[in-house]
């Protein structure tokens, strides 16, 4: 039993930093510009549906990642054998947080070191030493909305798309007392509750989407004679797009848990020195099971304005997206007196509407000759990130640099270059990040091919 | 199990740290009845030696920890104070630790042997640090262990009277994960 508890604890620990990690970018061109997004750099249509209507420019139309990091990983990877003396679960967690697709140039120092515990009848002090680095100062959030693949077909300005959608979210909050005991080795005291609260939610659906993007406003410019690229021809144009979607909910589950250990008058007295409390309320529905499928609607909308080679975009993904379910609600309560859990079904087929959080992307860019200067703000369910970067072309060579503020509120830096061979370009980028369980700065080298 | 829940919460953190150690220090003295820490001795007539048993009991030490950890080393810090009001003697403070199924800890070899010398009207403080075997470390991580404290007096001036107080009995066990 104890082993099982410990393993669950390990899994939880491994996930501490998951949500704190910004998604790894395998587009070296975008990464070299600090991860910034424009209508021709990075995610060409996913974050702003209006980009679909913008003519393809000289800035590129896609990228193919080169996962060079796999070579590094094959030569040097952590052991997964818990019996091995070098086994380190934090190192493994970092592999998941930071998949080995890019070459790691600088890695945060691994969490290691001895743990010291001092026990007396009325005293307990735990010094986690290096492990303190993995315990954040605030709540531990993880998750996000993921649109996984899918298939689509364009018909001129219109398009159809079918694809899965997954929304995950978990937030773990330690009480001040527990956090202080873990992070700062503050001694445990008598008659004190050391508690935590966890809110988790997961839902999956298939989105059937039909969209349309078009140029709504247009004011001609001299530059249009040479190029139809509104990013560089000086035209004034407004492109908009909208794509309503029908959501077929496959599964929904959430759990709100509170638990804690309250010490007695004496920490290690005989009898029951601690009181344990734990309560979890769950709600779920699943296709083919309790509640069946859910149904709902949502939309992606966007607009992008060009004015004298200046670009201003606004994209709202999953705008107003909701799914209605018939849910089963259960309450699980731990009884300290009997040392047993009891489960009570509170409701069955209770109507419940879940929300898919909207992701808002605002981007600006200015093209001056062959130079692009850009910035964006991406606001999602758990995090708001900002990116800024520039790209300068010299013949077939490009130089790039950028900065971004990641979800750990850390400034990160990037730079890189590229060479264009006709319709294909090779890009390299070096960028820092804090995609690791220690939330410390590391650096990576990314490579990809750009399609022009 | 409930007794050591607070400690058990931190063992997973150790498990993740590769070839690292959990250093567990237990103030055994704090778990003892205060009356057991103090014994008044009185040896009125000359005898070759006399033995005073200070303490012998079964204690919950590191219950539950042994489930997921493996003790690899241990040490103990022991200290005592003799407030000797009359007489003089040399002697030894003996510490015994045995597994819970042992009928009497005093039948085992002393774990620690602390020599002392007492003079009339003087307070004598003694202390020692003892490295224990891995086998004894394992004993310390079992659910229960039997602990005994004995004082042997070799008198040179009688009557020998005073008070012996255990002031430190602290075990440090170095453990590795065993998941």
Instruction: Give residue-wise pLDDT tens across range A242-297.
Output: 999 999 999 999 999 999 999 888 887 766 668 899 999 999 999 999 999 999 99
Measured on CA atoms in the order B44, B45, B51, B57, is the torsion positive or negative? negative
Contacts of B7 in chain A (CB under 8 A): 117, 119, 124, 126
Of B6, B26, B68, the CB nearest to A274: B6
Which residues is B77 bridged to in the sheet? B129, B170
A89 lies within 8 A of chain B by CB: yes
Contact A9 B19 (CB under 8 A): no
Give the model's pLDDT for residue A8: 37
**For chain B, which residues score pLDDT lower than 70?**
1-19, 46-50, 53-69, 134-135, 141, 143, 177-179
Q: Are A142 and A168 in contact (CB under 8 A)?
A: yes
Encode A387-401: b = buried (16+ Cβ within 10 Å), e = exposed.
Answer: bbbbbbbeeeebebb
Q: How far is B29 from chain A (nearest CA, A)?
A: 8
Q: Could you give the number of structural domains in chain B?
A: 1
Please count the residue pairs, one from chain A and one from chain B, whose beta carbons lie less than 8 angstroms apart: 117
Give the model's pLDDT for residue A394: 93
The whole-angstrom separation of Cα A119 and Cα B6 is: 10
The whole-angstrom separation of Cα A387 and Cα A35 is: 6
Domain range for B47: 2-177
* Domain CATH code at residue B33: 2.60.120
Please tell me which residue of chain B has the smallest CA distance to A116.
B23
A196 lies within 8 A of chain B by CB: no
Q: Are A332 and A349 in contact (CB under 8 A)?
A: no
The whole-angstrom separation of Cα A89 and Cα A333 is: 31
**For chain A, which residues score pLDDT lower than 70?**
1-23, 43-45, 58-60, 270-273
Overall pTM > 0.80: no
Tell me which residue has tokens 């790894």. Answer: A24
Q: Are A252 and A202 in contact (CB under 8 A)?
A: yes
Contact B19 A86 (CB under 8 A): yes
Give the model's pLDDT for residue A409: 81
Burial class (CB in 10 A: 0-12, 13-18, 19+), B44: exposed
Contacts of A6 in chain B (CB under 8 A): 8, 11-12, 15, 68, 179
Q: Are B164 and B39 in contact (CB under 8 A)?
A: yes
A345 lies within 8 A of chain B by CB: no
Give the model's pLDDT for residue B106: 85
């Amino acid at each position: 039993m104890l082993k099982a508890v410990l393993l669950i604890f390990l899994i939880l620990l491994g996930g501490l930093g998951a949500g704190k990690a910004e998604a790894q970018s395998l587009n070296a061109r975008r990464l070299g510009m600090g991860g910034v997004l424009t209508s021709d750099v990075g995610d060409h249509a996913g974050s702003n549906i209006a980009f679909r209507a913008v003519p393809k420019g000289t800035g590129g139309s896609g990228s193919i990642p080169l996962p060079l990091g796999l070579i590094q990983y094959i030569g040097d990877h952590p052991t997964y054998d818990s019996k091995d003396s070098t086994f380190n679960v934090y190192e493994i967690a970092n592999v998941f947080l930071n998949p080995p697709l890019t070459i790691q140039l600088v890695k945060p120092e691994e969490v290691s070191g001895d743990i010291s515990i001092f026990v007396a009848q009325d005293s307990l002090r735990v010094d986690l030493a290096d492990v303190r680095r993995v315990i954040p100062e605030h709540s531990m959030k993880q998750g996000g909305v993921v649109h996984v693949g899918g298939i689509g077909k364009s018909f001129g300005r219109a398009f159809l798309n079918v694809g899965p959608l997954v929304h995950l979210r978990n937030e773990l909050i330690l009480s001040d007392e527990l956090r202080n005991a873990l992070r700062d080795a503050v001694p445990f005291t008598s008659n004190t509750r050391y508690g935590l609260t966890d809110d988790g939610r997961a839902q999956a659906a298939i989105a059937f989407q039909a969209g349309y993007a078009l140029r709504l406003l247009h004011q001609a410019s001299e530059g249009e004679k040479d190029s139809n690229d509104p990013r560089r021809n000086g035209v004034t144009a407004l492109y908009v797009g909208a794509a309503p979607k029908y959501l077929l909910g496959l599964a929904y589950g959430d759990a709100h848990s509170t638990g804690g250990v309250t010490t007695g008058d004496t920490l290690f007295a005989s009898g029951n020195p601690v009181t344990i409390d734990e309560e979890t309320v769950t709600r779920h529905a699943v296709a083919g099971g309790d509640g069946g499928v859910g149904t709902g609607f949502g939309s992606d909308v966007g607009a992008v304005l060009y004015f004298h080679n200046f670009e201003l975009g606004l994209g709202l993904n999953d705008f107003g997206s909701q799914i209605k379910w018939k849910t089963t609600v259960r309450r699980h309560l731990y009884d300290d007196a009997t040392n047993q859990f009891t489960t009570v079904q509170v409701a069955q087929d209770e109507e419940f509407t879940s929300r898919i959080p909207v992701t808002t992307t605002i981007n600006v860019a200015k093209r001056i000759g062959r130079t692009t200067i850009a910035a964006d703000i991406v606001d999602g369910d758990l995090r708001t990130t900002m990116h800024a970067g520039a790209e300068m072309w010299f013949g077939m060579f490009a130089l790039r640099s950028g900065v971004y503020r990641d979800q750990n509120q850390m400034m990160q830096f990037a730079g890189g270059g590229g060479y264009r061979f006709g319709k294909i370009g090779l890009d390299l980028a070096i960028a820092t990040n804090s995609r690791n369980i220690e939330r410390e700065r590391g650096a990576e080298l990314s490579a990809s091919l750009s399609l022009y | 199990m409930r007794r050591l829940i607070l400690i058990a919460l931190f063992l997973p953190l150790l498990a993740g740290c590769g070839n690292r150690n959990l250093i567990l220090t237990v103030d055994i003295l704090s778990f003892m009845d205060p009356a057991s820490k103090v014994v008044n001795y009185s040896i009125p007539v000359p005898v070759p030696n006399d033995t005073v048993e200070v303490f012998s009991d079964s204690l919950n030490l590191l219950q539950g920890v042994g489930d997921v950890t493996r003790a690899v080393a241990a040490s103990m810090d022991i200290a005592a104070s003799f407030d000797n009001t009359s007489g003089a003697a040399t002697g030894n403070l003996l510490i015994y630790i045995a597994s819970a199924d042992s009928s009497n800890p005093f039948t085992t070899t002393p774990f620690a042997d602390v020599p002392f010398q007492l003079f009339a009207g003087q307070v004598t403080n003694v202390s020692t640090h003892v490295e224990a075997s891995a086998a004894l470390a394992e004993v310390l991580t079992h659910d229960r262990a039997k602990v005994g404290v004995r004082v042997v007096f070799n008198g040179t001036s009688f009557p020998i009277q005073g008070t012996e107080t255990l002031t430190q009995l602290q075990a440090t066990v170095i453990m590795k994960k065993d998941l």
